[in-house]
Structure 1
Amino acid sequence: MIQNLAAGQAGMTSNVFLVDGERTVLVDVGMQFDVVSETREYVDDIDAVVLTHTHPDHIGNLGDVTDTFGVDVWGFDPGQPGVDYEIGDNEQVKLGDHSYEAIHTPGHKNDHICLYSPASGVLFAGDLVFANGGFGRTDLEEGNREVLIDSIQRLLDAVDENCSEMYTGHGPSVTTNPVQDIELAFQAAQMQ
């Protein structure tokens, strides 16, 4: 089960995905809402937090989550505040019942990763790409349009025709042909 705990939240927050299963994980934790109560609507406990990147809107609730659940936080760069353990590029990480490949995709932020499971067809895209061809901002610190374009190409090379669901850092998830949305983002990023 994958549940967006931030659905319907007002204010500035990222999406927060509860991935339930053998290893119950929160992908990102959002900010400015009670993610602990939202988590407990579905499960009593979690095993870990996995971050797509460390922008404040994705990690603002980190203290509440780690204090309540006593879990480790995994991300690309353990030098970032709150990140306990590194997930290296191309490394496998267990989310729920499936193994996901971490794909280092900077351009929005240097420590950005996407997570893709060919077996389940699920992609966590963070803020790299969004529904309908949207893509991550590059006007923030560490943002770089050319690097972002290269990262979207890298993501396109990594996903395959089995990709059936894309969960993004903001906005709606994509459950119909998400590769098309990634291709649109690639084209749009090159045009602006």
Structure 2
Amino acid sequence: MVENVAQGQQVFTSNAFLVTGDRTVLVDAGSEFDAVAEVRERDAALDALVLTHTHSDHVGNAADLIDAFDVDVWGFDADHELVDHAVDDGRSVRLGDHSYEALHTPGHKDDHLCFYAADPGTLFAGDLVFANGSFGRTDLAEGDRDVLVESIESLRDTVSPDLAEMHTGHGPSVTGDPYSHIEAALRAAKF
């Protein structure tokens, strides 16, 4: 099961997805809200924190989560102070009851990862793409529009057109034809 513990927060934060099952994981920590209380409210025993990237709105609550649940942090950049374990492109990562492939997708930030599981057809897209053809900013440090386009093309070529759900770093998750939202983001990013 996937639940956004940041939903409804009225602060500048990313989404933070609690994925429960064999290995209960929080995908991104969010910021400026009590993520520890949100996880505890769901009676979850957190096993790990997995980061799509290290912008402050995605990692702001990380230290509190680490302290409260004594969890390790997984992310692309092992040199980042919060990351305990490097996740390389193509590596398999267990989220809940399923194995997800880590996809290195820079362009928004150099350490950006997406996580994709063909079965059950789920994508954690971070800030690479969003609902309705939106895509991640490239005007921040480490942003590069051409690299972002390449990453979206790679994502489109990797995920199945039958993708069932896409959980993004901001805004709503997409359960109605999420593949078309990736295609729309690619068209918009190329424009």
The bucket for the TM-score relative to the shorter chain is over 0.9
Task: Say if 2:162 and 2:177, in contact at 8 Å, map to a contact too.
Answer: no
CA distance in 1, matches of 2:81, 2:122: 28
Quote the residue 1:79 is aligned against: 79
Task: Say if 2:162 and 2:179, in contact at 8 Å, map to a contact too.
Answer: no
CA distance in 2, matches of 1:33, 1:81: 21
Task: Say if 2:14 and 2:169, in contact at 8 Å, map to a contact too.
Answer: yes
CA distance in 1, matches of 2:92, 2:157: 17
Quote the residue 1:32 is aligned against: 32
Which aligned segments of 4 or more residues in structure 1 are displaced greater than 4 angstroms?
none
Quote the residue 2:20 is aligned against: 20
TM-score (norm 2): 0.99
Which deviations, in whole Å up to 9, do the C-alpha atoms of 1:97-154 show, x marking residues without a partner? Answer: 0000000000000000000000110000000000000000000000000000000000
Partner amino acid, structure 2, of 1:164: A
Which deviations, in whole Å up to 9, do the C-alpha atoms of 1:70-98 show, x marking residues without a partner? Answer: 00000011111200001110100000000
Quote the residue 2:171 is aligned against: 171
Quote the residue 1:63 is aligned against: 63
Partner amino acid, structure 1, of 2:9: Q
Map 1:107-126 onto structure 2 (within 5 A). Answer: 107-126=107-126
Which deviations, in whole Å up to 9, do the C-alpha atoms of 1:39-82 show, x marking residues without a partner? Answer: 01112411000000000000000010000000000001111120
TM-score (norm 1): 0.98
SS at match of 2:132: helix
Quote the residue 1:51 is aligned against: 51
Quote the residue 2:181 is aligned against: 181
Quote the residue 2:161 is aligned against: 161
Query: Tell me, which stretches of 5 or more residues in structure 2 are unaligned?
Result: none
CA RMSD of aligned residues (A): 0.6
Q: How many residues end up aligned between the 2 structures?
A: 191
SS at match of 2:190: helix
SS at match of 1:183: helix
CA distance in 1, matches of 2:41, 2:17: 13
